[in-house]
Amino acid sequence: MLRMTEVHAGYGATPILFGVSLEVRAGEAVALLGRNGMGKTTLMKTAMGFLRPRRGAIELDGTDLTRLTPHEIARLGVGLVPENRRIFAGLTVRENLELGLSASADRSAALRRRRLDQVFHYFPRLQERIDQPGKTLSGGEQQMLAIARVMMAGARLILMDEPTQGLAPAFIRSIRAMISELKRLGVTVLLVEQNARVALSVCDRGYIMEKGSIVFEASSTELRESPVTHEKLGV
């Protein structure tokens, strides 16, 4: 579904990605693991169109993404749950969710109701706080809102950047269950996660990044058992 081939990218004169190649097949969850500062977030921004690759190819179902804007990529069914959530703190939960529909060609009232019902089925806490400003939510609730906003857009490929960062164990379990449910619904997930144990418990395969390059790829089972994982990630 998503294929990145020999992608180079960076900020200004500073290169960050050095020939990254990976693929994510439809319906699977894939973990992108690595210590801080290894280029994982840069890769997500490049896949979403916030950074243009200097070299290489990025394709979604065979469609070239390298010259498209983030809005155009979102219209193709890609959603980003960014690091640090990035919800609109002054808007209510309802308003944040409805903004998710801006990436959809169909913004009908019927679609809005269906997707709200789906979101509230998985995140009933958001329904309880529907009219509260985003800034009044806990960190875990804000993360739920960031994921739910992408679900409102009807994304078929979701890029998640550190969704469990700084969360209490109960919220981490909720996020892990949500990723499992997205897979069951046929949504494809590329997950950047510092918590390798959580990522490998829910993902089918994984890649390890180091200094802007992919250094190891294996199934989640193999990654859990490999000495490379311990060496590179300390787990």
Domain ranges of the chain: 2-233
**Is residue 223 helix, strand or coil?**
helix
**CATH code reported for the domain at 2-233:** 3.40.50.300
Place of tokens 């806490």: 125
Q: Is the pLDDT of residue 85 over 80?
A: no
- Mean pLDDT computed over 69-90: 90
Q: Is the pLDDT of residue 189 over 70?
A: yes
pLDDT digits (tens, 9 = 90+) for 204-218: 999 999 999 999 999
- Mean pLDDT computed over 93-111: 81
Q: Is the pLDDT of residue 156 over 80?
A: yes
- Mean pLDDT computed over 167-179: 86
Q: Is the pLDDT of residue 81 over 70?
A: yes
pLDDT at 24: 97
Measured from the Cβ of residue 84, the count of other Cβ atoms closer than 10 Å reads 13
Burial class, 154, CB count within 10 angstroms (exposed 0-12 / middle 13-18 / buried 19+): buried
Q: Is the pLDDT of residue 114 over 70?
A: yes
pLDDT at 103: 66
pLDDT digits (tens, 9 = 90+) for 51-69: 999 999 999 999 999 999 9
Q: Is the pLDDT of residue 122 over 90?
A: no
- Mean pLDDT computed over 156-173: 89
- Average pLDDT over the chain reads 92
Query: Quick one: DSSP state of residue 12?
Result: T
- Mean pLDDT computed over 15-32: 97
How far apart, in Å, are the Cα atoms of 171 and each of 79, 89, 103, 123, 203? 21, 20, 27, 11, 18
**How many residues are listed for the chain in this entry?**
235
